[in-house]
Structure 1
Amino acid sequence: MRLATTIEAILYLQAKPVAIADLVSISGQERPLVEDALMELMEDYAHRDSALEIIETNQGYSLQLRAAFQHLIQDFVPADLSTASLRTLAAIAMKSPLLQTELIELRGSGAYQQVQELVEAGFVRKRKQTEGRSYWLEITDKFHQYFEIDRLPADFAEKNSNK
Structure 2
Amino acid sequence: MSSDDTTGPASLSLAARIEAILYLKGRPLDLAELARLASLDPAVALSAEQVELALITLMADYAHRDTALEIRQEGRQYSLQLRESLSGLVQNLLPVELSTATLRTLATIALKKRILQSDLVELRGSGAYDHIKELLAQNFIERRRQSDGRSYWISLSEKFHRTFALRGVAELPSGRTPPLASP
Normalised by the length of structure 2, the TM-score is 0.42
